[in-house]
Amino acid sequence: MIGSSEHPIRYELVNEMHARPFQASVAPERITHYALLRGESEHDQDRAHVASLCQRFGAALPPVDANHYAVDLGQVRLKWERHTEFTTYTFFQHGPFEAAFEDGPAKHVPAEWLSAAPGELIVATHVAMLSADESEPSAADLSKMFVRESLTTSRVSASSAQVWTDFRVHGDGHSRILIHNETMPERKAGRIIQRILEIETYRMMALLGLPPAREAGPRLSTIDGSLAHLTLAINALSTESGESEAALLRRLTRLSADIETLSTTTAFRFSATQAYYALVRERVAELREERIEGFQTIAEFIDRRLAPAVRTCEAVSNRIGDLSRRATRTADLMRTRVDFALQEQNQELLSSMERRARVQLRLQETVEGLSVAAVSYYAVGLAGYVLQGGEAFLPGLDSAITLAALTPLAIAAVWIALRRFRRRPTKSTPER
Q: Which residue has the higher pLDDT, 327 or 1?
A: 327
Q: Per-residue pLDDT for 6 more than 90?
A: no
Could you give the strand order of the β-sheet that contains 161-165, starting from the edge strand earlier in sequence?
A: 68-72, 77-82, 86-94, 29-37, 120-130, 175-181, 161-165, 152-156, 290-291
Q: Which residue has the higher pLDDT, 250 or 208?
A: 208
Q: Per-residue pLDDT for 432 more than 50?
A: no
Q: Which residue has the higher pLDDT, 339 or 51?
A: 51
Q: Which residue has the higher pLDDT, 432 or 309?
A: 309
Q: How far is CA 377 from CA 387, 407, 408, in A?
A: 15, 8, 11
Q: Where are the domains of the chain?
A: 17-185, 210-282+297-348, 358-421
Q: How confident is the model at residue 317 (pLDDT cuts 50, 70, 90)?
A: very high
- State the pLDDT at residue 396: 67
Q: Per-residue pLDDT for 13 more than 90?
A: no
With a CB cutoff of 8 Å and minimum separation 6, the contacts of 113 are 49, 52, 53, 56
| Mean predicted lDDT score pLDDT of the chain | 87
Q: Which residue has the higher pLDDT, 417 or 276?
A: 276
Q: Which residue has the higher pLDDT, 246 or 223?
A: 223
Question: Against a cut of 0.85, is the pTM above it?
Answer: no
Q: Per-residue pLDDT for 11 more than 60?
A: yes
User: Residue 77 and residue 75: Cα distance in Å, rounded?
Assistant: 7
Q: Which residue has the higher pLDDT, 386 or 105?
A: 105
Phi, psi of 71 (to 5 degrees): -145, 145
Q: What is the DSSP string of 150-172?
A: G-EEEEETTTTEEEEE-----TT
Positive or negative, the CA dihedral 190, 195, 200, 206 is positive
Q: Per-residue pLDDT for 22 more than 90?
A: no
- State the pLDDT at residue 329: 86
Q: Which residue has the higher pLDDT, 241 or 411?
A: 411
| Range 27-44 average pLDDT | 89
Q: Which amino acid is at 95?
A: G
Q: How confident is the model at residue 371 (pLDDT cuts 50, 70, 90)?
A: confident
What percentage of the chain carries pLDDT values higher than 90? 56
392-405 pLDDT, tens digit per residue, is 677 666 767 777 77
- State the pLDDT at residue 238: 52
| Range 11-25 average pLDDT | 75
- State the pLDDT at residue 19: 67
- State the pLDDT at residue 239: 43
Torsion of CA 96, 100, 101, 106, to 10 degrees: 10
171-227 pLDDT, tens digit per residue, is 999 999 999 999 999 999 999 999 999 999 999 999 999 999 999 999 999 999 988
Q: Per-residue pLDDT for 17 more than 80?
A: no
